[in-house]
Structure 1
Amino acid sequence: MTGLQFDDLLAKVIVAIPKKDTAMREALSQDTRIKREITQRYLAPGDSFKKTLEAIYDVLHEYIKITSCHNRNVSIALN
């Protein structure tokens, strides 16, 4: 994914995953948070990454094709 593609995706998803400041800390900006979540995906999977993926799917569902065939999914993953 290019930087331009990432920025385009971020602009579409950012409204679906807002965060608020609390008494303990200020919220991270969405672009910083998404970059950290993507990094954390490879270090320690968690619910926040799942929520980000759900937001990406909600925004881009018309472009994302999901097959229900397990064998087809395995074939796609291996290629």
Structure 2
Amino acid sequence: MARFPTSYFDDGLNDEQFEAKISNFTAANPNASFAGPLSFLNTHRYLLGESYLTGKGAATEFESGVAFWNRYSRILFDAEPE
């Protein structure tokens, strides 16, 4: 598994959408600050991204790309067999 075991449910897209909303709000309202339970957002930095794959995760992604190419390249790209 690349980062953590996943099944049909993966909340990564929601995390990215939430971060985009926070970034858009803070960019449009630079003097605003969060209070109470949301005060952590005043210093929050979104650190997840593609560059945070583990070595195993990066290898898995590479292997998936190779497997895809081996299966579908001739169909999709009219490539010659090796």
TM (norm. structure 1) is 0.25
**Which is higher, the Rg of structure 1 or of structure 2?**
2
